[in-house]
Amino acid sequence: MAKSPKSSSKPTGGETHQSAEGLDTAVLTTNHGVPVSDNQNSLKSGSRGPTLLEDFVLREKIFHFDHERIPERIVHARGSGAHGVFEAIDDISDLSKAAVFTKGEKTEVFVRFSTVAGGAGSVDTPRDVRGFAVKFYTREGNWDLVGNNIPVFFIQDALKFPDLVHAVKMEADRGYPQAGSAHDTFWDWASLMPETTHMLMWAMSDRTLPRSFRTMEGFGVHTFKLVNAAGKASFVKFHWKPRLGIQSTIWDEALKLQAADNDYQRRDLFEAIDTGDFPQWDLGIQVFDQAFADAQPYDVLDATKLIPEEDVPVRLIGTLTLNRNVDNFFAETEQVAFLPSNIPPGIDFSNDPLLQGRLFSYLDTQNSRLGTTNFHQIPINAPRCPFGNFQRDGKMQTMVPKGRANYEPNSLAAHGEEGGPRESPMAGFATVDAVTGSDESGEKLRVRSETFADHYSQARLFYRSQTESEQAHIASSFVFELSKVGLLDQVPGRMVANLRNVDEGLAKRVAAGLGIELPKKAPAAKTPIDMKPSDALSIHKNMKATLEGRAVGILIADGTDAAEFSTVMTAVKKAKGKAVVVAPKVGGAKLSDGTVQKADGQLAGSPSQIFDAVAIVLSEEGCAALLKEAAAVDFVMNAFGHLKAIGASKAAQPLLDKAGVEPDEGVTGLDGAFVKAAAQRFYAREPSLRMLA
* Alpha-carbon distance values, 579 to 257, 478, 611, 650, 676 (Å): 19, 36, 9, 20, 15
Q: Peptide bond preceding 177: is omega within 30 degrees of 0, i.e. cis?
A: yes
Question: Of how many residues is the chain composed?
Answer: 693
Q: Which of 357, 419, 588, 654 binds ligand HDD (CB under 6 A)?
A: 357
Query: To which H or E segment does residue 264 belong?
Result: helix 264-274
How far apart (Å, rounded) are the C-alpha atoms in residues 408 and 105?
34
Span from 35-43, 67-75, 513-521, 615-623 in contact with ligand HDD (CB under 6 A) = 67-75
**Which CB sits closer to ligand HDD, 357 or 386?**
357
Q: What is the separation of C-alpha 81 from the centre of its chain, rounded to a whole number of angstroms?
A: 9
DSSP, residue by residue, 583-617: ESSTT-EE-TTSPEEPPSEEGGGS-GGGSSEEEEE
Q: 101 to 130, contacts with ligand HDD by CB under 6 A? A: 112, 114
**520 Cβ neighbours under 8 A, 6+ residues apart:** 497
243 is in an annotated binding site: no
For the beta carbon of residue 13, count every other beta carbon within 10 angstroms.
11
Going residue by residue from 157 to 176, which x/- string records binding to ligand HDD, judged by CB under 6 A? -x--x---------------
End-to-end CA distance of the chain: 58
Under 8 Å between Cβ of 106 and 236: no
Q: Please give the Cα distance from 85 to 138 (Å, whole number).
A: 11
Q: Pick out residues in 282-311 that bind ligand HDD (CB under 6 A).
A: 303
**Contact code string over 68-97 relative to ligand HDD, x by CB under 6 A:** -----xxxx--x------------------
List the one residue from 146, 233, 581, 648 that touches ligand HDD (CB under 6 A).
Answer: 146
| Stretch of 31-39, 354-362, 423-431, 491-499 contacting ligand HDD, by CB under 6 A | 354-362
Rg (alpha carbons) of the chain, rounded to whole number: 28
Q: Provide, rounded to whole angstroms, the least separation between the CB of residue 123 and ligand HDD.
A: 17
CB under 8 Å to 89, separation ≥6 — which residues? 103, 104, 316, 317, 318, 319
Nearer of residues 153 and 635 to ligand HDD, judged by Cβ: 153
Nearest distance, CB of residue 618 and ligand HDD, angstroms: 44
Minimum CB distance to ligand HDD, residue 89 (Å): 25
Q: What's the min distance (Å) between Cβ of 535 and ligand HDD?
A: 23
With CB atoms as reference, the residue minimizing the distance to ligand HDD is 131
Distances (CA, A) of 310 to 281, 531, 536: 20, 11, 8
Least distance CB 365 / ligand HDD (angstroms)? 4
Please identify, using beta-carbon distances, which residue of 355 and 693 lies nearer to ligand HDD.
355
DSSP state of 300: T
Stretch that binds ligand HDD, among 47-55, 191-199, 351-359, 662-670 (CB under 6 A): 351-359
Task: State yes or no: 73 annotated in a binding site.
Answer: yes
Print the binding letters for residues 174-213 with ligand HDD: x by CB under 6 A, - otherwise: ----------------------------------------
Residue placing its CB nearer to ligand HDD in the complex, 153 or 478: 153
Q: What whole-number distance in Å separates Cα of residue 605 and Cα of residue 295?
A: 56
The response to whether 358 counts as a known ligand-binding position is: yes
Cα–Cα dist 62/41, whole Å: 13
Member of 338, 375, 462, 640 binding ligand HDD (CB under 6 A): 338
Smallest gap from Cβ 309 to ligand HDD, in A, equals: 18
- Which range of residues in 17-25, 332-340, 449-457, 490-498 is near ligand HDD by CB under 6 A? 332-340
In the complex, the smallest distance separating the C-beta of residue 47 from ligand HDD, rounded to whole angstroms, is 49
Closest among 455, 460, 539 to 506, alpha carbons compared: 460
Q: Is 161 annotated as a binding residue?
A: yes
Nearer to ligand HDD, 319 or 381 (CB): 381
- For residue 76, CA distances in Å to 121, 122, 333, 337 come to 11, 11, 12, 12
The residue (of 137 and 362) whose beta carbon lies closer to ligand HDD is 362
C-alpha pair distances (Å), 238 with each of 316, 382, 684: 10, 24, 33
For ligand HDD, which is the closer residue by CB, 261 or 352? Answer: 352
Q: Angle 191-197-203 (CA atoms, 0-180°, nearest 5)?
A: 100
Find out whether 579 and 572 touch, Cβ atoms under 8 Å: yes
Q: Which is nearer to ligand HDD, 150 or 616 (CB)?
A: 150
Least separation in angstroms between residue 79's CB and ligand HDD is 5
Residue among 218, 234, 219 at smallest CA distance from 97:
234
**Minimal distance in Å, beta carbon 140 to ligand HDD?**
22
**Residue 142, helix vs strand vs coil:** strand
Cα–Cα separations (whole angstroms), residue 662 to 427, 627, 636, 637, 667: 66, 17, 11, 10, 8
Beta strands in 173-248 (DSSP E): 218-219, 224-227, 233-242
Picking from 133, 116, 127, 16, the residue whose alpha carbon sits closest to that of residue 72 is 116
Q: Which stretch binds ligand HDD (CB under 6 A): 281-289, 357-365, 534-542, 609-617?
A: 357-365
Helix 490-499 vs helix 184-191: angle between axes, to the nearest 10 degrees? 40
Letters for 212-231 (x = contact with ligand HDD by CB under 6 A, - = none) are ---------xx---------
The residue count for binding ligand HDD (CB under 6 A) is 27
The residue (of 256 and 455) whose beta carbon lies closer to ligand HDD is 455
**Site for ligand HDD contains 365 (CB under 6 A):** yes
Span near ligand HDD by CB under 6 A; candidates 141-149, 166-174, 489-497, 676-684: 141-149
* Other Cβ atoms closer than 10 A to 253: 22
Least distance in Å: CB of 606 to ligand HDD? 30
Pairing outcome for strands 106-115 and 79-88: antiparallel
Q: Which of 84, 126, 131, 180 binds ligand HDD (CB under 6 A)?
A: 131
C-beta of 255: minimal distance to ligand HDD in Å? 24
Report the 10 Å Cβ neighbour count for 413.
Answer: 12
Taking the complex as a whole, the smallest distance from the CB of residue 152 to ligand HDD amounts, in Å, to 8
Instruction: Please select the residue that binds ligand HDD; options are 118, 126, 147, 344, rule is CB under 6 A.
Output: 147
How far lies 64's CA from each of 30, 43, 373, in Å?
A: 11, 18, 21
Tell me the catalytic residues: 76, 148
Closer residue to ligand HDD in complex, CB, 332/481: 332
Cis peptide upstream of residue 35 (ω within 30 degrees of 0): no
Binding-site entries: 73, 112, 161, 358, 362, 369
Instruction: Please give the annotated binding residues for heme, written as ranges.
Output: 73, 112, 161, 358, 362, 369
Interface residue list for ligand HDD (CB under 6 A): 73-76, 79, 112, 114, 131, 133, 146-148, 153, 158, 161, 221-222, 303, 336-338, 354, 357-358, 361-362, 365
